Structure 1
């Protein structure tokens, strides 16, 4: 099983830290491990570098893109995609400040959600804390100055 947290990074920070995504990963790792006063401090840092999730827009886009897809359903506020042929499944839960995505089997099911989300916003950062993996859903292109 893979478990991702997806955060919408403020555009200014996303472009400034392009290529140094590990710094975001470290911040979110510390945030998940911390407790007490340290958690409250790191929480403020996380709030500062992230944008609120456009919840309504995400819900509309998911319904629009997936409503006619075989194996898609919504249960208890969770979006579920299952592909019986390849034994894959993914579940997406939308929160105010992040998205949770859990998937089983090959990466096919999570890719369905990633492709839809990358169309919605340009600065989604996906983090898999258990596997020490992280990356942009839609890589930011560096500006070339002449």
Structure 2
């Protein structure tokens, strides 16, 4: 099972740290590993660089995907696939982050990533267990001639 924590990064930090995503990864994983005094400081840093999630706008986008019969709602959790099946994913919207749990093939979570790509380009996903991280919608580099 893959568990992603997805944060909405403020524009100025996302632009500045593009290409240096490992700094974000270290910050988000340090939150789990440090003692109480450091954990409080790290939480303040995370709160400073992230934006609160716009629940209503995300709910609207996910609801539109429901009309395409890709996503189901179970309370405050959005689901794809069958919880007992081979492939599936669940997305929970919290105050400052999205929690995505996925099992099976990688296509199970791609439905949610596609919805998030449509909304905003500054979502940053962290999978602590598998040490994977990155932008949900990578920025294309401009090449000047």
* Counterpart residue number, 2:53: 53
**Could you tell me how far 1:87 is from its partner in structure 2?**
2.4
Residues 1-146 of structure 1 mapped to structure 2, 5 A cutoff: 1-69=1-69, 72-82=71-81, 87-142=86-141
The C-alpha deviation readout for 1:15-67, integer Å capped at 9, x for no partner, is 11111100000000001223422111001100111111111100111011123
Q: What TM-score results when the alignment is normalised by the length of structure 1?
A: 0.91
Structure 1 runs, 4 residues or longer, greater than 4 Å off = 143-146
For structure 2, the residue ranges without an aligned partner over 5 or more in a row are none
For structure 1, the residue ranges without an aligned partner over 5 or more in a row are none
Q: What TM-score results when the alignment is normalised by the length of structure 2?
A: 0.91
Matched residue SS, 2:6: strand
RMSD: 1.8
**Partners of 1:143 and 1:8 in 2: CA distance:** 23
**Could you tell me how far 1:96 is from its partner in structure 2?**
1.1
Contact 1:7 1:50 in 2 (8 A): yes
**Could you tell me how far 1:145 is from its partner in structure 2?**
6.8
**Could you tell me how far 1:68 is from its partner in structure 2?**
3.7
Matched residue SS, 1:80: strand
